[in-house]
Amino acid sequence: MSKSSLLNAQITRRKLLEYTGEVGVTSALLTTLSTVPFSKKAQAQTLPQGQAEFKHSACLVNCGSRCALKVKVENDRIIQIEPEPAVNEAEFGQHQIRPCLRGRSNKYRVYNPDRLKYPMKRIGKRGEGKFERISWEEATQMIANEMTRIRQEHGNEAVYYQYGTGAYYHTQGSPAWHRLLNLTGGYLNYFNTYSTGQINKATPYTYGNYSGSHFTEVEDSDLVVLFGLNVSETRMSGGGQVEELRRALEKSNAQVVILDPRYTDSVIAENAEWLPIRPTSDAAVVAALVHTMITEDLIDEDNINKYAVGFSRETLPASAPENSSYKDYVMGTGEDGIVKTAQWASDISGIPAKRMQQLARQIANAKSCFICQGWGPQRHHNGEQTVRSILNLPIIANQFGRPGTNSGLWPYGNKYGVPKLPAGENPVKVSIPVYTWTDAIARPETITSKTHALKGADKLNVGIKMIISQASNVLANQHGNLNATREILQDESLCETIVVVDNHMTATAKFADILLPETTYLEADDLVDNSYASGSNCYMISMEKTITPLWEVRSTYDVCRDIAKHLGVEQQFSQGRTQQQWIEKHYQDIRSQRTYLPEFSQIKGSGIIDQHRTPKKDSVAYQDFYQDPNAHPLSTPSGKIEIYSEQLVNETSDWILPAGDKIPAVGQYLEVPDSQSDKETQKKFPIQLTGFHTKGHAHSTYASVGVVKEAVPNEIWINFLDAESRGIANGDMVRVFNDRGSVLAAAKVTHRILPEVAALPEGVWSVVKNGVDIGGCINSLTSHRLSPWAKGNPQHTNLVEIEKA
């Protein structure tokens, strides 16, 4: 389709008036109406039959995709959510950006009984969940007063803006808070994310930067090897990576091998071979694959040395010990003296040795092997080692830089590039690793550059005294070791003020001192980007209020503007603009570059705009470097791929690490506390518990929506053998516990998980009664130990015992 006809197809205002004889509820999911307050019957009573209007919104969660939602509205009531139509189904780039079950359930999320309706202040003990309604004027004044008081008493560093990914707005939410905080003295920032702490830290030490081939490359692959990548459940949008991968596989018919502790939906959808792997053991598997490749003469060492340093002794930097190459590590001539045979790795990973030897041959002999990792394998203690080990594989097997190959990384998607409300500059330069905020409240003096990789200062001067928690359920749901975390939060002498902005009465909301209700996506105006997992697909979405915001919920743009007024910076904050005027400004800024775009009035509230895709030839990671490494050096210190990283050694040599932690210069399998290699803890807690991101919710967002809960119940996956020996039957309620906590969940007894391994979805709402998390939230069991190098979250590394409840 030509650009002009594409635009025409999209920009015709889709606010169609439609005659409907009956309110059609088509999806099976949407038939469970009895669980929601606005039943079909109630609609029939209150609404005249007939005129329905379509409005356009979007699902702004952090699932990596970004789906437009076509919202059928009658008399200011949401009737049904539909997908936007496909623009041109023949070509993927113009394919239908189809929302998943969560996006389609938005009507129930908007009308859920747990919605926050009014601004409130705490009246009971913190965390108890007792509140009193206050006015917006009082709420915004209180926040302004607290910001001033805390900054005067403790300094700007005492105000912390919490990690929160529940809503990726561009002109309200986080950008509004950042702008306000920066204008008034700044705040303590964080680095790392809960998603990618270990992979984002480790990758640049190998490649200099971060680049993965798009899944469209799989069109040219004959073999696809995926480590813990589950796009069928984590990238579910019809406009995203799951669709791109599926279509590419249709073309190439490549063999797919998935290494995962669980038999995931991706194994089914990609018609893959499942190699069940024990969590935290990928680095051992990679070492064994390379061992087979070396011993069977399947690699070209000169070729590896052309691109990389540290595989062979002769390419090690001068500062490195003589036997510290990756080849030494694999062949047993390195420091640990262990030969990394397939049998050695089999004992660790549970994958049969023969199958690993075969896989090594398959990878080395493939025409084009696409090697990729999800983020589950790195959300572990020593996840950094897993990342760097997997990155070695395509280099050593010469499976990178050519069509049909990848770098071993997960492919980020292209972004359209929609501006956000400008944040301005943060006058505070100190930032903490995101997973250390509880320490920064309770033990600030222990947070230093040498122990916690603190940035911008040698040590933290003051603890966190005020938290702004916007679209975040981190405080009491998504962080590790919730029992310890709750204790820290309950102590009002530590953190003095907590502001929470949400749509629902979440576990975190209950810890607020001041609790503010924000609009849901469907009650908001904005112009948003396509997020990060839409593959080569690229677009923006113009969304509008599909109904009048309910009760007293407001946009945080207006709320922050009011706080700015109380603090005397209203003009600097708003520059005289309403939110809608900022949206228009952002669009005009884009239009000044993309002059083919129509007037704002034509696209306002029209859904998807300017959808297009990257040409396939631009999508092979590190292609230039592969073709000519001298002409296109990488940004690593050597200009090459660094299997051995001298930079890592230099940067971390004076770090103070907890006993047992190591940060080796080449990616290695290391034993991990609280994992299957921790034989001592296993005597008490024999089962290795991993988490995973479930299709039932995006973290905790949508996790309280009845229809989705019914479709995807919260269950802990347990192997038949483990269930049998504990007298547990499928569907039984079980208690999962360790020294940190105790959780109730229903058992899914299945062959889809390895014995001695269990898996519980993350994001379920934590509800604690008598010390037991009856909500089933895995974070009542997870540890708060920092990963050694990235200081990231090891929330998939846990040992537990399970018993029938």
Ligand X SMILES: Nc1nc2c(c(=O)[nH]1)N[C@H]1C(S)=C(S)[C@@H](COP(=O)(O)OP(=O)(O)OC[C@H]3O[C@@H](n4cnc5c(=O)[nH]c(N)nc54)[C@H](O)[C@@H]3O)O[C@H]1N2
Residue 186 in contact with residue 219, Cβ under 8 Å?
A: no
- Among residues 30, 79, 100, 258, which is the contact residue for ligand SF4, using CB under 6 A? 100
- Among residues 93, 103, 413, 667, which is the contact residue for ligand SF4, using CB under 6 A? 103
What part of residues 38-67 is at the interface with ligand SF4 (CB under 6 A)? 59, 61, 63, 65-67
Q: Token pair of 190, please? A: 């964080």
Encode 456-520 in three state secondary structure.
Answer: CCCECCCCCCEEEEECCCHHHHHCCCHHHHHHHHHCCCCCCEEEEEECECCCCHHHCCEEEEECC
- Residue 502 site contact among ligand X, ligand SF4, Mo ion, none (CB < 5 to 8 Å, cut-off depends on kind): ligand X
If DSSP codes are grouped into helix, strand and coil, which group holds residue 56?
A: strand
- Residue 401 site contact among Mo ion, ligand SF4, ligand X, none (CB < 5 to 8 Å, cut-off depends on kind): none
d(CA 118, CA 14): 33
Question: Measured at CB, which residue is nearest to ligand X?
Answer: 166
Q: State whether the Cα torsion 566-568-572-578 is positive or negative.
A: positive
d(CA 232, CA 740): 32
- Among residues 80, 112, 165, 645, which is the contact residue for ligand X, using CB under 6 A? 165
The identity of residue 321, as a single letter, is: P
Contact between 796 and ligand SF4 per CB under 6 A = no
C-alpha distance across the termini of the chain, in Å: 59
State the virtual CA torsion across 632, 633, 634, 635 in degrees, nearest 10: -110
d(CA 370, CA 85): 32
The residue among 102 and 291 lying less far from ligand SF4, judged by its C-beta, is 102
| Pairing status of strand 120-122 against strand 514-517 | antiparallel
Contact between 262 and ligand X per CB under 6 A = yes
The residue among 327 and 554 lying less far from ligand X, judged by its C-beta, is 554
Helix (H) or strand (E) holding 564: helix 556-566
The residue among 107 and 327 lying less far from ligand X, judged by its C-beta, is 107
C-alpha 127, offset from chain centre: 26
The residue among 184 and 542 lying less far from ligand SF4, judged by its C-beta, is 542
DSSP conformation class of 455: B
If DSSP codes are grouped into helix, strand and coil, which group holds residue 445?
A: helix
- Residue 380 site contact among ligand X, Mo ion, ligand SF4, none (CB < 5 to 8 Å, cut-off depends on kind): ligand X
| Window 202-241: contact mask with ligand SF4 (x via CB under 6 A) | ----------------------------------xx----
Min dist CB 702 to ligand X, Å, is 8
Contact between 691 and ligand SF4 per CB under 6 A = no
Min dist CB 570 to ligand SF4, Å, is 34
Min dist CB 677 to ligand X, Å, is 12
The identity of residue 576, as a single letter, is: G
Which of these segments, 208-216, 275-283, 290-298, 308-316, binds ligand X (CB under 6 A)? Answer: 275-283
d(CA 220, CA 217): 6
The residue among 189 and 195 lying less far from Mo ion, judged by its C-beta, is 195
The residue among 126 and 504 lying less far from ligand X, judged by its C-beta, is 504
Min dist CB 151 to Mo ion, Å, is 31
- For the beta carbon of residue 34, count every other beta carbon within 10 angstroms: 9
Contact between 227 and ligand X per CB under 6 A = yes
| Window 282-301: contact mask with ligand X (x via CB under 6 A) | x-------------------
Give the residue from 684, 688, 751 showing the smallest Cα distance to 724: 751
Q: What angle do CA 363, 366, 368 make, to 5 degrees?
A: 105
Contact between 763 and ligand X per CB under 6 A = yes
Min dist CB 638 to ligand X, Å, is 29
Count of helices and strands (H, E) across the chain? 28, 29
- Residue 103 site contact among ligand X, ligand SF4, Mo ion, none (CB < 5 to 8 Å, cut-off depends on kind): ligand SF4
Min dist CB 647 to ligand SF4, Å, is 37
- Among residues 311, 326, 521, 539, which is the contact residue for ligand X, using CB under 6 A? 521
Q: In angstroms, what CA-CA distances link 406 with 32, 214, 217, 281?
A: 43, 8, 8, 22
The residue among 432 and 590 lying less far from ligand X, judged by its C-beta, is 432
Residue 56 in contact with residue 543, Cβ under 8 Å?
A: yes
- Residue 140 site contact among ligand SF4, Mo ion, ligand X, none (CB < 5 to 8 Å, cut-off depends on kind): none
The residue among 195 and 200 lying less far from Mo ion, judged by its C-beta, is 195
Burial class (CB in 10 A: 0-12, 13-18, 19+), 420: buried
| Window 494-513: contact mask with ligand X (x via CB under 6 A) | -------xxxx-x-------
Contact between 349 and ligand X per CB under 6 A = no
What part of residues 194-233 is at the interface with Mo ion (CB under 5 A)? 195
Residue 759 in contact with residue 694, Cβ under 8 Å?
A: no
Min dist CB 63 to ligand SF4, Å, is 3
The residue among 168 and 207 lying less far from Mo ion, judged by its C-beta, is 168
DSSP conformation class of 144: H
- Residue 521 site contact among Mo ion, ligand SF4, ligand X, none (CB < 5 to 8 Å, cut-off depends on kind): ligand X
Bridge partners of residue 804, in order along the sequence? 734
Residue 478 in contact with residue 780, Cβ under 8 Å?
A: no
The residue among 27 and 46 lying less far from ligand SF4, judged by its C-beta, is 27
Contact between 709 and ligand SF4 per CB under 6 A = no
Residue 587 in contact with residue 595, Cβ under 8 Å?
A: no
- Among residues 55, 102, 693, 699, which is the contact residue for ligand SF4, using CB under 6 A? 102
The identity of residue 546, as a single letter, is: T
The residue among 213 and 237 lying less far from ligand SF4, judged by its C-beta, is 237
Q: Token pair of 597, please? A: 């775009």
Which of these segments, 33-41, 99-107, 317-325, 780-788, binds ligand SF4 (CB under 6 A)? Answer: 99-107
Cβ contacts of 493 within 8 Å, gap of 6 or more: none
The residue among 643 and 698 lying less far from ligand X, judged by its C-beta, is 698
- Among residues 692, 717, 737, 789, which is the contact residue for ligand X, using CB under 6 A? 692
- Residue 530 site contact among ligand SF4, Mo ion, ligand X, none (CB < 5 to 8 Å, cut-off depends on kind): none
The string of DSSP letters for 318-361 reads TTS-TT-SHHHHHHT-STT-----HHHHHHHH---HHHHHHHHH
Residue ranges in 653-789 assigned as alpha helix (H): 679-682, 706-711, 720-725
If DSSP codes are grouped into helix, strand and coil, which group holds residue 227?
A: strand
Question: Measured at CB, which residue is nearest to Mo ion?
Answer: 195
- Among residues 120, 248, 277, 284, which is the contact residue for ligand X, using CB under 6 A? 277
Residue 759 in contact with residue 717, Cβ under 8 Å?
A: yes
Residue 248 in contact with residue 219, Cβ under 8 Å?
A: yes
- Residue 237 site contact among ligand X, ligand SF4, Mo ion, none (CB < 5 to 8 Å, cut-off depends on kind): ligand SF4
Q: In angstroms, what CA-CA distances link 59 with 93, 110, 312, 411, 476?
A: 20, 12, 49, 22, 24
Instruction: Say how many residues touch ligand X, by CB under 6 A.
Output: 64
Instruction: Say how many residues touch ligand SF4, by CB under 6 A.
Output: 13
The residue ranges that bind Mo ion (CB under 5 A) are 195
The residue ranges that bind ligand SF4 (CB under 6 A) are 59, 61, 63, 65-67, 99-100, 102-103, 236-237, 698
The residue ranges that bind ligand X (CB under 6 A) are 62-64, 164-167, 194-195, 227-228, 230, 233-234, 236, 259-262, 264, 277, 279-280, 282, 374-377, 379-380, 470-474, 477-478, 501-504, 506, 518, 520-521, 690-695, 697-701, 759, 762-763, 778-779, 782, 795-796
